[in-house]
Structure 1
Amino acid sequence: MARPGDSHSRRKRGFEPAATLLAKRIRSAGEKRGFAVSRVLTHWAEIVGEDTARIARPVEVKYGREGFGATLTVLTTGAVAPLLEMQKDAIREKVNACYGYNAIARIRLTQTAPTGFAEGQARFAPAPKPAPARPDPAIASEAAALSGDVHDEGLRAALAALGQNVLSRPKR
């Protein structure tokens, strides 16, 4: 319900754009749902590309007082900060293309120290997982022989894999 005092104060200011009337409500609904922040954080490598994702990562998205045009804070090392400074507009365009509108108005770079003296740069991307070790052929054939009586192919393959894991464990 509109209060009598509200309509009188609005008349004094004149017409207001609908965006300013709804800005606070839209922003609070978006923050509750977490659309803006979570998409940038979870899909960073897909949005900006693998090369940029290796040297930088998003930290936070802050909204200004007006509610439109957020600031994206990106964490990087001091050595590559000038490179990212030159790519700010391209990063902003890629992030905004992901949203479908101009969600990010500014990008702020925050520099951090390298992880250690020998590494030379902070690692933002996780290290690749090592490939699993190839099973011993004798153990694989023994596990296949143990599960050979099973008629269902999926169950037989699962039992053979389980048998390989059990037989390859070190004896206590």
Structure 2
Amino acid sequence: MTGRSDEYPAAPKAARRNRGFEAASRLLRERIRTAGESRGFAVSRLLTHWPEVVGEEIARMSRPVKVGYGRNGFGATLTLLVEGAAAPIVDMSREQIRAKVNACYGYNAISRVVLTQTAATGFEDGQAVFLHSPKPKPAPSPEVQAAARATAEGCADDTLRQALERLAENVLARSAARAAQKKG
């Protein structure tokens, strides 16, 4: 070999996809199917198109949580998450929900519909939704602000200096509040 470029074979060109961006559904299809099957959902459409399957009114009040299969393998149990006040309404519609879900599956897959009453957010942790907002923190006094500015004064980076000032304000304001409690 003399080192000439025509003596070396050309590197294979990487196969390029000329499809542009792929649809997100194609990219995530396998992950969604795997996650759905881990909760017992053989048909992911039940999760992704819940309002279309059972109707808007029922979908607003409920959400499918899991499909459990019994030991004998005859019929499954669909568990729905329902907020407390809507449970009686959804309970009266159980048979219609079962029929619509079975139509989605294409056969009589679901034999029972069970309701779980709780708040929709934080279901995994058993948390409820709190509608109140926290009290806004009072602005620190001018003395605390000045002391915080003096604490972060030597920092050249503006972002870091501002973060240090906020930290110093919080620490100094808390210290001042504790000192006031001890006096009072």
TM-score normalized by the length of structure 1: 0.46
Task: Give 1 or 2 for the bigger CA radius of gyration.
Answer: 2
1 or 2 for the larger relative contact order (CA 8 Å, sep ≥6)? 1
